Amino acid sequence: MIDFKEKVIELISNEVDFLSKDDISNTVEIPPSHEMGDYAFPVFRLSKTFKKAPNLISEDLVSKIGDSEYFEKIENVGPYINFFIDDSRLVGTVMDEIKNKGDKYGASKLGKDKTVIVEFSSPNIAKPFHIGHIRTTVIGNSLYKIYKFLGFDTIAINHLGDYGTQFGMLISAFKKWGNKEVIESDPIRELLKLYVKYNAEMKKNKKLKESARYWFRELENKNQEAVELWQWIKEISLQEFNKVYDMLNTEFDSFAGESFYSDKMEDVVEELKDKDLLEKSDGAYIVNLDKYDMPPALIKKSDGSTLYTTRDIAAAFYRKKTYDFYKNIYVVASQQNLHFKQWMKVIEVMGYDWAKDCIHVPFGMVSLEDGTLSTREGRVVFLEDVLNKAIEKTLEIIDSRNPDLRNKEQVARQVGIGAVIFQELFNQKIKDYVFSWDRTLSFDGETGPYVQYTHARTNSLLERGNFNIDDEIDYSLLQSEEEINIIRLIYNFPGIIIDSMEKNEPYFITRHIVEIAKAFNKFYTSSKIIGDDEEIKKARLMLTYSTKTVIKIGLGLLGIEAPNKM
């Protein structure tokens, strides 16, 4: 595909030899509105050398550049040089690219031979997989797909919270009040009941706290009873989590969770000692981070048990050794910002420059309309319930609008779940938000179902018009503003995928496919796609096909399916 930005850079660099191409590239802007062109080059930085007022420089440069076959118009407006892409060139190159690459449009080898780890979801076993986990799960899943599409070797890791003092609590609670059969009938809810009860009782009874500590230590010491109970808890929890992962089409390459590092932490402790970084404080071992304006990183508690932080450090070393990652990404809530800063700093002061390749990708908090989520107090919304409710509601809608649809159940699943994922990925991930059933289950406006519906519409047009991609197609028939608008968005799509990757922000893709869907629907209402003129029909169907292809790729990168009929 023609890289029009590259052409802009060439034209400028021919006239301005003291700026490198990279410099020019970083200066080129995309104007906020299309009336100002597809690209703009502000000339401010040239005024020192040229010793002229910026608007005179731009005027002068425009006349020197002259005409270019790639641009319809190159003009100066004040200190800017604006470049307008030649429409017929644009249409030709985009359509050819879609025809050649199909569902690989926008894919690349950018990440060749580079391994990217995306760690996401990472719920704590024996606890509900709730609405607070949806963000890490869908953001992580999408980033994983985006990196893969750009040619990186990708590893999806679920760093299960399967270790820590809370398992001491659970084991102790089970021994006191537990019943295997009851728990297996509804594992997470029953385990949660035990956990909540234990927490409440613990406030009144100090002995329970001790007992929980005792059982966690026994687990660390590989006491058979403790290990078996813990393994069983892990198994039944994973069975529950996997139901949700199936629904969300999420797969992991590794489930190495916290417990996996239980025998890999001593090395970390030793190395910290050797490097003189470990300090004793109140009987515990810490790494002092005063110099970096951070509270100390807790490495080992006074009773000898290790901590969350220590496990993360051990995990990072393990990943470096095992995967030699280019990036090691953690999709974890912003509440843990400090935790990640601390342990990454520890690795840095240990002298490892790959600490900089460990990247925390934070996201904002989800709260409920009636307050914050609290597992301990049992105030949770189960993710599985949200997804099931979305499917149910979708089925109702299908039953009222399109009762004869084939595979209704399957489509309801694709659309209902798609709606939930889409809404999660529609806003900048760092923003906090309040979970609302109404918003999640609304299918109007800029929603997943709207985009999926547009995709289904393109599909039925292609079927109805007997579209054949191998027909001879005259692209020059695509000239209307509505048509060019779609093509421009399609042209920009590969760059949007790269932006999403660089900023670890899938929502750029979400917004872009909404724009494409809107542009297509505008075109659909303003123009007859399947009309009497055979040549126009073919060209418009090619545009329809291109739209379908890009929407499907975009939805796929978000982890959303694109049914052909709905």
Q: Is 174 exposed, middle or buried (0-12, 13-18, 19+ CB in 10 A)?
A: buried
Our finding on whether 299 is near ligand ARG (CB under 6 A) is: no
Looking at beta carbons only, is 164 or 449 nearer to ligand ARG? 164
Our finding on whether 259 is near ligand ARG (CB under 6 A) is: no
Q: Which of 191, 87, 172, 196 is nearest to 129 (CA)?
A: 191
Looking at beta carbons only, is 260 or 523 nearer to ligand ARG? 260
CA 68/CA 72 separation, integer angstroms = 8
Give one DSSP letter per residue of 101-159, joined into a string: HGGGTT--STTTT-EEEEE---PBTTS--BGGGHHHHHHHHHHHHHHHHTT-EEEEE--
- Dihedrals phi, psi of 435, to nearest 5 degrees: -65, 130
Number of residues in contact with ligand ARG, rule: CB under 6 A?
A: 9
CA 566/CA 561 separation, integer angstroms = 12
Q: x/- string (CB under 6 A) for ligand ARG, residues 315-354?
A: ---------------x-x----------------------
Which residue has the CB atom at the shortest distance from ligand ARG?
161
Which listed residue (133, 159, 320, 548) is catalytic? 133
For residue 27, the tally of other CB atoms under 10 A from its CB is: 17
Our finding on whether 312 is near ligand ARG (CB under 6 A) is: yes
Give one DSSP letter per residue of 202-240, joined into a string: HHH-HHHHHHHHHHHHHHHTT-HHHHHHHHHHHHHHHHH
Looking at beta carbons only, is 13 or 334 nearer to ligand ARG? 334
Least distance in angstroms from the C-beta of 133 to ligand ARG: 7
> Which tokens hold the place of 166?
């809370």
Q: Which stretch binds ligand ARG (CB under 6 A): 93-101, 115-123, 490-498, 518-526?
A: 115-123
Q: Which stretch binds ligand ARG (CB under 6 A): 100-108, 121-129, 275-283, 470-478?
A: 121-129
Choose which of 124, 310, 458, 510 interacts with ligand ARG (CB under 6 A). Answer: 124
Q: Which stretch binds ligand ARG (CB under 6 A): 71-79, 116-124, 176-184, 500-508?
A: 116-124
Our finding on whether 135 is near ligand ARG (CB under 6 A) is: no
Give one DSSP letter per residue of 384-420, joined into a string: HHHHHHHHHHHHHHHHHH-TT-TTHHHHHHHHHHHHH
Q: Which of 183, 142, 166 is nearest to 219 (CA)?
A: 166
Give, for 327, the enclosing helix (H) or strand (E): strand 327-331
Q: Which stretch binds ligand ARG (CB under 6 A): 118-126, 467-475, 488-496, 527-535?
A: 118-126
Rounded-to-10 torsion of CA 490, 495, 498, 499: -110
Is position 133 annotated as part of the catalytic site?
Answer: yes
Our finding on whether 510 is near ligand ARG (CB under 6 A) is: no
Looking at beta carbons only, is 161 or 506 nearer to ligand ARG? 161
387 Cβ neighbours under 8 A, 6+ residues apart: 244, 247, 248, 416, 417, 420
Least distance in angstroms from the C-beta of 310 to ligand ARG: 11
Choose which of 37, 54, 123, 416 interacts with ligand ARG (CB under 6 A). Answer: 123
Which listed residue (48, 51, 101, 127) is catalytic? 127
Least distance in angstroms from the C-beta of 330 to ligand ARG: 5
Least distance in angstroms from the C-beta of 311 to ligand ARG: 8
Eight-state DSSP code of residue 295: P
3-class DSSP assignment, residue 433: strand
Is position 130 annotated as part of the catalytic site?
Answer: yes
Is position 243 annotated as part of the catalytic site?
Answer: no
Total count of residues recorded for the chain: 566
Looking at beta carbons only, is 161 or 416 nearer to ligand ARG? 161
Q: x/- string (CB under 6 A) for ligand ARG, residues 67-106?
A: ----------------------------------------
CA 554/CA 178 separation, integer angstroms = 47
Q: By the 8 A CB rule, do 178 and 194 touch?
A: yes
Choose which of 130, 159, 320, 538 interacts with ligand ARG (CB under 6 A). Answer: 159
| Strand locations in 332-372 (E) | 358-361, 366-368
Looking at beta carbons only, is 46 or 125 nearer to ligand ARG? 125
Choose which of 58, 76, 115, 122 interacts with ligand ARG (CB under 6 A). Answer: 122
Least distance in angstroms from the C-beta of 255 to ligand ARG: 12
Q: Which residues are catalytic?
A: 127, 130, 133
Could you list the residues that contact ligand ARG (CB under 6 A)? 119, 122-124, 159, 161, 312, 330, 332
